[in-house]
Structure 1
Amino acid sequence: MAAGTDIQKRIAAARLLPVVVLERAEDAVPLARALLKGGLAVAEVTFRTAAASDAISRIRKDAPDMLVGAGTVLTREQLADAGAAGAQFVVTPGFNPTIVEAAQAAGLPIVPGVNNPTGVEQAMSYGLETVKFFPAEPSGGIPFIKALTGPYPGMRFVPTGGIGPGNLASYLAVPAVLACGGSWMVDAKLIHDRNFEEISRLTAEAVALTRKG
């Protein structure tokens, strides 16, 4: 629990969680350094590609200032790979009790995805205080999060999905929002083209927006 509290504090301090898809593990460290240069010391590397485990491992080794989590974790095998690679937290798109239980047994802080009251109550039953609200915009966005805070005042949310420069500050202005997930500053084409300077610039702009929340 202590480790999870520390992770939550670090994500809350960042206010923004970049959702990263890496096709090549060799791009992981340059990307991490680009994010750090832009002022962000946290990233979620998604298990949407075969490079995810290696990418997380490289970041832990060569960019130790970066808090790195594993995202889109759907199976026990992916969870085990994430833990072995050194992921410091896990994010899932939905609420799978099997994955939550396995992560807790492994001592890995987990932020499962929910988008309704039932999901929030499931999370609470496992002692969780932070959930991913996904997909944020299609699920009702800010009004829906505000509605959930009535019956569940202790829950914190990391909305992800449809969030960008135009609405980031509005989401962060909601007290129940711990941080926002987003991918515009780590666009797949920018990573593919190895345009890390642009990633740093977009990250710095995003960080500036978080201060308005």
Structure 2
Amino acid sequence: MSNPFDLTARIGVVPVIAIESVDHAIPLADALLEGGLPTAEITFRTEAAAEVLARLHEQRPELLLGAGTILSPEAARLAVQCGAAYGLAPGFDPAVVDAAQSAGLPFAPGIMTPSDISLAAAKGCRLMKFFPAAPAGGPSMLTNISAPFAHLGLRFIPTGGVKLETMGEWLSLPVIAAVGGTWIATARDMREGDWAGITTRARAAVARAKELRP
């Protein structure tokens, strides 16, 4: 399998999903795939997350699965057991990075400051999650805090406040691998069974990414 982060960079956008019911797993996957978006970050913010990952890994292997909100070494190991191809976190925790690396899980810790970047880079991380992207200062902030590390070849996935309308501000930056989007499939969308809406938003996000990175 190719590096999953290389694949997400080619896609340009990753839906960030807090899924509340295992019964929503397959309809969600099918809605994303129909919209041409073959990846998803399933966050460990709900009790259903682990079972959702396992079900999707078994029944929708064509979906590139990420596990998000990995806050403990145990969660990193669980993500691998459930079939996640990559993992992300909102912050930097050296114990979590160590666990992910030991488990062979490609991992992007969260950063918001130059100190965060320094610590993550010292652990060998070359892809990081900039979170919360918009409240932390947006593209200008990331450009400035990442500049001293340019020689390391770091790349980032901004998440938090990113929208379809602002994707261009991010994807125009050379340091951006992909953007994370919570707007594509919200908990409310899934509770209401708005699978068609998820497909529409997924298709629009993919199209926008292709416009920006032909």
Which residue in the other structure is 2:76 paired with?
Answer: 79
Which residue in the other structure is 2:158 paired with?
Answer: 159
Q: Give 3-state SS (helix, strand or coil) of 1:212's partner.
A: helix
Kindly indicate whether residue 166 of structure 2 is the aligned counterpart of residue 201 of structure 1: no
Kindly indicate whether residue 38 of structure 2 is the aligned counterpart of residue 44 of structure 1: no
Which residue in the other structure is 1:15 paired with?
Answer: 12
Q: Give 3-state SS (helix, strand or coil) of 2:67's partner.
A: strand
User: Match of 2:142, as an amino acid?
Assistant: I
What is the deviation of 1:30? 1.3
Kindly indicate whether residue 67 of structure 2 is the aligned counterpart of residue 65 of structure 1: no
What is the deviation of 1:89? 0.9
Distance (whole Å) between structure 2 residues aligned to residue 148 and residue 13 of structure 1: 24
Contact 2:5 2:86 in 1 (8 A): no
Distance (whole Å) between structure 1 residues aligned to residue 37 and residue 188 of structure 2: 20
Point out where structure 2 has 5 or more consecutive residues left out of the alignment: none
Distance (whole Å) between structure 2 residues aligned to residue 208 and residue 173 of structure 1: 15
* 4+ runs deviating over 4 angstroms: none
Distance (whole Å) between structure 2 residues aligned to residue 29 and residue 13 of structure 1: 24
TM score, norm. by length of structure 2 = 0.94
Point out where structure 1 has 5 or more consecutive residues left out of the alignment: none
What is the deviation of 1:32? 1.0
**How far does the alpha carbon of each residue in 1:166-198 deviate from its partner, in whole angstroms, 9 at most, with x for none?**
211111111110000011110211111121111
- Aligned length in residues: 210
Which residue in the other structure is 1:97 paired with?
Answer: 94
Task: Write the mapping of 1:146-185 to structure 2, written as runs, cut at 5 A.
Answer: 146-153=143-150, 154-185=153-184
Identity of aligned pairs, percent? 37
Q: Give 3-state SS (helix, strand or coil) of 1:177's partner.
A: coil
> For the aligned residues, what is the CA RMSD?
1.2
User: Match of 1:61, as an amino acid?
Assistant: E
Kindly indicate whether residue 85 of structure 2 is the aligned counterpart of residue 126 of structure 1: no
**More deviation, 148-157/54-63:** 148-157
Which residue in the other structure is 2:22 paired with?
Answer: 25
**How far does the alpha carbon of each residue in 1:55-112 deviate from its partner, in whole angstroms, 9 at most, with x for none?**
0011111111100011011122222221211111111000000000011011111110
Distance (whole Å) between structure 2 residues aligned to residue 169 and residue 93 of structure 1: 22
Which residue in the other structure is 1:210 paired with?
Answer: 209
